[in-house]
Structure 1
Amino acid sequence: MNQRASHSELNQYHLGSWYSAYRFIISFCLLLIFLATYTQLAPEYPYPQLYLYVLTAYVVITSLQYLALNKIQAAVPRQLVLIFFADVSALSLLALALDGPNLHLSLLFVITIFAASLLLDARKALIITLAAVISIVYQLFLGSILDFASLKNIGNSALLAFLFFVVYGSGQIAVRRFQILENLNFSQSLELNRLQNINRYILEQIETGYLVLDDNCHVVLSNPAACVLLGMPPAYSAEKYPLYKAQPDLFQLLKFEALQNGEKFQFESQQSRYHIHVHVQKLNVPHQTLTLLVLQDAQRLNQQVQQLKLAALGQLSASIAHEIRNPLAAIVQANDLSAGSAPEQQQLLSRMISKQAKRIDSIIQDTLNMVKNKETHAVLLRLNDFIPLLLQEDLADIQHKIQLHMQQGCCIYFDEAQLRQVLINLIRNAVRHNDPEAPHIELNIYPHEQKMRLDVRDFGQGVAVQHQASLFQPFFSTEITGTGLGLYLARSFCEANQAQLTYAEQQRGACFRLTCQRAEL
């Protein structure tokens, strides 16, 4: 609140200083015009001596008030009140010397009233307006009584007095609007300053370096982490500067390389002890294109990747151990019970051991498929040709249970073998969980905005709400014989192809939706 008040007082002082300079110039020019034209226009001045004395005094007073306002910056509102009273008095006397106000003096009166409405509060501005009205209207009555003025201009004076009130009202409306805009601008400047401070604090605290360059390779923004990684003095972080002075090695690299959006590369410099990983991003701002370089310590980045791999390996190992322990315990128990059992019971236990051994083999096989580091090769797939061939070659035994709905011209980029494995898994799961009374499941392929959707839907019981969050976790399955790796593998394949596999809740049944970028032919 104090900041807003001081800001308003500062604006009032500046406007008052400009107005004070204006009135000095006007008074001085009026005096020069009178002195230069008096001999030719003497009849136009009914009381030339009064006109001359008032103008001379007005020039002296305006000059003194201008100097006082600039030299003594205290009690500015009081000085402004004195300034406007001096203006009203001088203009009234000038009007009296001319036997009534003319067009030029009327304009000066109007400017004075409007300036008072802007620079003073409403009450003081009203007092100035009333003083102007009284001085204009009643000076003619006083002049006629004392026989040095006539009442022939009383109509013009009354009209001018009415105009004063109109100008005062207009000025008050303008002041209110100015105040609203000023308050809005002040609030926005405070909010902008607060956001800038927050952004600066965040940039100073994070360990990732950010370097923003313009088209001339000048650094527009850099945080302390970027300066540390590049071996630049931290003093550069708050100002714009040429890159070739602070980091010539990086400048030479950027000078001869056409960096593309999303490009990544490694950078080393004799000026820095770090091996830096650089990620390039283009920033489109009005009237220019900026380049953002995201800088990270490559060694620390590799350490983080290794830690994530070890953490994932530990979680996977724990999950595998937990999944194998159950069938292994059943095998051990069946083996203990088989000794001394009847032949029929031994056959039953033998089948149980064989079944659990196959379950362990299935878990190991799915785990091996999951951890294979097979490289993804996305190619253009015309789904109108690919899907019928998939149903005929890989799903011939259940093809009659699949109802296909597909629009023409559906094309995507995807690894063919991985998409085949994903769809086989989803379709067989849907057939297995479908309602026995439902004649088929649905495979719906259609474009949605800039994406392509492949929906595999059944009409069974659906997935319980409490199980939906765990659907794509490894080794989660609602079936006793399931390994829980099918959906996990399917989602992994989709992510490797920059696609998404999600569960879309339906009123009846379950729907698994594969969403990927649509390819244009």
Structure 2
Amino acid sequence: MSARILMAVVILGMHLTVHIWGRPLPQWVLVACVAYLVLTILVRTVAHPQGPGRPFDAQWLYTVGADLLFFVALQSLQSVGVNYTPLLALPVLMSAIMGTRALALGTAALVTLALLGQVVWSADLDRWGSTTDMAQAGLTGGGLLILALLTNQLAMRLAREEGSARRNRIEAQVQSLVNGMVIDAMDDGVLVVDTDYLVRTANPAARLMLGSDREVTPDQFVLDDNPAWVQLVHIARETFEDEPIDGIEITLHHEDRHSSRLQVRTQRTPTVGDSGRCLCVMFLQDLREMEAQLRTEKLAAMGRMSAAVAHEIRNPLAAISQANALLEEDLSAPGQLRLTAMVRQNADRLGHIVDDVLDIVRAQGQSEPFADHALDLDAAVAGFCAEWAAQHGAGSRLQVHLGLPEGDVAVQFAPEHLRRILVNLLDNAARYATRREAAIQVSTQAIRHGPVLLMVWSDGAPLEPSVRRHLFEPFFSSESRSSGLGLFICRELCERHGANMGYERTERIQRGSPVAGNEFFVSFRRAPGAYTTTFMDPAV
């Protein structure tokens, strides 16, 4: 359509030039040229021509028909003495592109008849015209027929290829959307890294494991930008230089959050094109979540068995306690009273163990998390710490640092469960910490667009590796008089609320100098709408 406008402008300009500088032309010629220009502009701006391969319709009249009529008229009258025959190829091409093969051949045949008729019209009545003019008109018509056939075939093939490309593009977009949804919903992290260590794709799980924030870190980033990711750079280099890695455990040490323990396996894509470049696909798995899942599966059967054993123990234990109390009333000898006291103490200990086991079963038996509690973490921690300090006479030995924005951060957690977890952690800290000032420190921190942390730190001696490996397992304790269920129950309660619990050896400021100590932390899930953009002071 744009070519028609350009052709109309050229024809009008040529006739105006001849009319002004050469010999005057009939007025109808200029009027016809102007009318043709106006028609082409209207068709280009207003009309909506249909695609190729359609049968005859009205668009043929104001496109092919108008061109054919105008060019035949110019050729027949020869007003300027110019041969307009090449222009007749334009309506033939247009009909071949816009219509069916029959319409294209029909238009070419109509043009051929017009050329032959023009030769007959221009010849004398007494003779049929020269053989050369007739042969030229016939060859031109034959060429136009071949041109219409080939152009129509090319147009139809192009239309099929365009339709196929459009369908393939739609399918590729749908497949890309599906792949994106699947990858984004995966619990495992996925990173796509090129040879320059540019991360082309990272799903939300991978960003969470890397500790990257979308508001700070762009969609594509370089692994060299963060010192915590240096191990991933080495893994990518080994994948490109040698072979894919089946599985390796690494630890990412972050500056503003707890370290991440990951299992990494890689795959290398085939070389793309002649550039020799390929991609490294990293699959990241959070070892803490894997361990929690394995632990849950292993403890499921043990929980059912423990519940049954606890119920069986409770009845005879109650009988023993009652009989011991009756016996103690009739005794007066100090030695015998000491024996009954030992029976009473051990019976109470067994009773606490039974209660702990039943608490585990109750916590595991909950099918839904406790999502109805929106808890002001700072207020709750301040109250529980004050109660514990008053009961144990902690004084300056306990320091509490609460730095969450007032009224801006709430977590999903039951108050009584938080009390039990905090009291258990403070009891453990008091058991192993020194008597110095700030030997026990409780603090809260909000990760930007992330979880809310509660940390209980004490300056006790580091835990032995064997103790750390089994720290949260049931019935494991470094003390003979402990049931070994305290930390396990705390972790179970955290998981029921969608929170996580862990341990790290960290440093805190004590009397103006950094001191290494044991830190237990709880990562809470925020309540709906409780998101903040503030950062905590790194010194806290």
Instruction: Note whether the superposition's TM-score is higher than 0.5.
Output: no
Instruction: State the TM-score, normalizing by the size of structure 1.
Output: 0.44
Instruction: State the TM-score, normalizing by the size of structure 2.
Output: 0.43
Q: Which has the higher helix share?
A: 1
